[in-house]
Copies of this chain bind each other. A is one copy, B any other.
Amino acid sequence: MKFIETLRDGERVGDIYLCKQKTSAVTKNGKAYESLILQDKTGTIDAKIWDPNSQGIDDFEALDYVDIVGDVTSFNGMLQISVKRARKVSEGEYEPGNYLPVSQYDIEEMYQELIRYIESIKDKDYQALLHSFFTDDKEFSECFKKHSAAKSVHHGFIGGLLEHSLSVAKVCDFFAGNYPVLNRDLLLTAAMLHDIGKTKELSFFPINDYTDEGNLLGHIVIGTEMVSDKIREIGDFPVVKANQLKHCIIAHHGELEFGSPKKPAIIEAVALSFADNLDAKVETFKEALESNTEDTYRWQGYNRLLETNIRKTMG
């Protein structure tokens, strides 16, 4: 497949792309045309159908996969495709992994690892709560598996939310072993649930953008309410355990100015905020190092997320 980031001015293109947006418009001369945004996992490109009613231009809609034939041209310094033919294709004709960013790990394997952590929880209340999400609620679990953990920044790919939650759980599991003062059951439960609000804060791929609810409430408040709802369904959940767990979720950003309405006030909340922050920072660093494909010059310049100039470790 010819990926979008490799297209050059003057080339002819003939390949399947995901149509992310599609809008109709009219030229100054009054002629109707259509404006598309095509996407694959390497980026997006504008495309124009100057003759929408011509033979060879099928009906299709935004979020369809479309086999495009056209010419790459440069307009105002940006590449765009002038589309000659467009055919909507069916599932099976394309490899989804080529169009949307996806975790490098196997999603089902990660999910099984998460389930094993749930089975290792000794506290029956916390375990029941976890099962009510990850085992019993199929709609939730399907959604959780496919979600990203971010619009951009780190873990912004399919399976990213699962990959991040699992990694935070692993780190917390180690912390609980290393620091016996920590309550492992509370900490692991909080680790697995801390970001579940993101399933509603962000929409599914390929959109992967903040929802209205996400913008208004944020994943911390949404996730806390999701936990409260399940606890109500379960019934008989001890109040103190519920409050401690919700506190861990509320406080997991560590500081008020990072959006936590409470600072960590119990030690598991401290440990969770470290695990979450570390996993995010390491992934951010890793993604930043990977995105640097030149190896002639080692310093990558100021990285806005890490707030410093960074480079790959040598030797």
Tell me the A residues contacting B by CB distance below 8 Å.
Answer: 8, 10, 28, 76-77, 167, 170-171, 174-175, 178-179, 181-183, 186, 210, 212-213, 215-218, 220-221, 224-225, 228, 238-241, 243-244, 246-247, 250, 256-268, 270-271, 274, 277-278, 281-282, 285-286, 289, 298-299, 306-315
Task: Determine whether the beta carbon of B8 is less than 8 Å from that of A313.
Answer: no
Taking CB atoms, residues of chain B closer than 8 Å to A228 are 225, 228
Q: Which residues of B contact A262 (CB under 8 A)?
A: 216-218, 221, 259, 308
Interface of A is mostly: helix
A218/B261 in contact, CB under 8 A: yes
Contact B181 A289, beta carbon cutoff 8 Å: yes
Cβ of B310 and Cβ of A282 under 8 Å apart? no
Number of copies: 6
Q: Quick one: given A250-B221, A260-B261, are A266 and B313 in contact (CB under 8 Å)? A: yes
Bound-complex Cα distance A65 to B135 (A): 55
B174 in contact with A178 (CB, 8 Å): yes
A183 and B243 contact, CB distance less than 8 A: no
Minimum Cβ distance to chain B for residue A184 (Å): 11
Contact B213 A267 (CB under 8 A): no
> Which 10 pairs show the lowest CB-CB distances between chains A and B?
A216-B247, A263-B308, A274-B278, A174-B174, A216-B243, A267-B285, A257-B257, A266-B313, A261-B261, A259-B261
Q: Which residues of B contact A261 (CB under 8 A)?
A: 218, 220-221, 259-261
CB neighbours of A259 from chain B (8 A): 256, 261-262
Point out the residues of chain B lying under 8 angstroms from A218, CB to CB.
Answer: 250, 261-262
Contacts of A260 in B (CB 8 A): 261
Residues of chain B with a CB closer than 8 A to A265's CB: 215-216, 308-311
Q: B181, B238, B285: which contacts A286 (Cβ < 8 A)? A: B181
| Cα A198 to Cα B185 with chains together (Å) | 30
